[in-house]
Amino acid sequence: MACADQLSKAAVLGALEFGQSVAVLPPLLRLTLWRNTGIAFGLLSGASGVVGVAAALAAVWLVFWQRGQWHTSRLARWGTGMILGGAAGNLLDRARYGYVVDFLELPYWPIFNLADACIVVGGALLAASGLWATRR
């Protein structure tokens, strides 16, 4: 996940200037290169250092929590992997640039990247796994 995220960001960084926007699938998808110094959806802008430390601590906690869940489902393991891969991709950006590179723009939605999508989908998989486990 982190590798695919970094490759996608490198491709967009090589093709666009910050603030530049290109329609890919009008009107559904645009590539708009953006610096995100906050967390998801631009919240806490300007707090990149604090956000980076918090994200790293959350990733470490998730690894240790998951290790204690020896009976965890495949769905939960996939979810955890997606969250950790997405977090790693965004942490690499913060370490390298001091911000996260965002570039995917959908109508009525903040600009995001592949790592963000992995984190959201991974969280949904973990939630689904938890719901499924409680129904058994």
Is 93 a residue of the active site?
no
Q: Average pLDDT in the 73-90 region?
A: 91
**Beta-sheet strands, E only, within the chain:** 21-25, 29-36, 100-105
pLDDT in tens, 87-134: 999 999 999 999 999 999 999 999 999 999 999 999 999 899 888 776
| Structural domain spans, the chain | 2-15+28-135
Above pLDDT 70, what percent of the chain? Answer: 82
Catalytic residue among 1, 111, 116, 126: 116
Separation of alpha carbons 121 and 136, rounded Å: 23
Active site residue 5: no
Indicate which residue of 2, 102, 105, 125 is catalytic: 102
Tokens of 54: 């918090």
